[in-house]
């Protein structure tokens, strides 16, 4: 085996390990977040809701039908010019 082949093998192993660690952490991070409706700014929503079908497509600030993922337990304490965040759509 030449030096280049060994280097590529080592780099491939490192990349694979990092990828596996990232995938393992993703479900844990998602479990520590919750959907908070009415707190997303225009174009910063996290998923389809209301009059749009894609992440980042909210047309107005603090749309009560659009949500933003926030750390679990913080949503209902978030104050906006239109009221507090809520765990259910359209409840502001």
State percent of the chain over pLDDT 90: 33
CB 71 within 8 A of CB 77: no
Asked whether the predicted pLDDT for residue 37 surpasses 80, the reply is: yes
Task: Look up the domain containing 24 and give its range.
Answer: 1-31
CB 20 within 8 A of CB 44: no
User: Are 43 and 11 part of one and the same domain?
Assistant: no
pLDDT for res 36: 93
Please give the tally of structural domains in the chain: 2
User: Are 91 and 53 part of one and the same domain?
Assistant: yes
Q: What is the pLDDT of residues 59-92, one digit of tens each?
A: 889 988 888 999 999 999 999 999 999 999 886 5
Q: State the average pLDDT for the chain.
A: 76
Q: What is this structure's pTM? A: 0.61
User: Are 61 and 38 part of one and the same domain?
Assistant: yes
pLDDT for res 26: 54
Residue 70 pairs with which residues in a beta bridge? 34
User: Are 61 and 91 part of one and the same domain?
Assistant: yes
């Amino acid at each position: 085996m030449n030096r280049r082949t060994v280097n590529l093998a080592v780099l491939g192993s490192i990349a694979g390990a990092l990828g596996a660690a990232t995938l393992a952490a993703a479900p844990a991070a998602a479990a520590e977040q919750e959907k908070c409706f009415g707190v997303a700014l225009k174009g910063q929503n996290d998923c389809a809701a209301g009059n749009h079908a894609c992440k980042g497509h909210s047309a107005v600030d603090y749309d009560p039908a659009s949500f933003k993922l926030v750390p679990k337990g913080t949503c209902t304490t978030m104050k906006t010019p239109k009221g507090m965040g809520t765990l259910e759509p359209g409840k502001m």
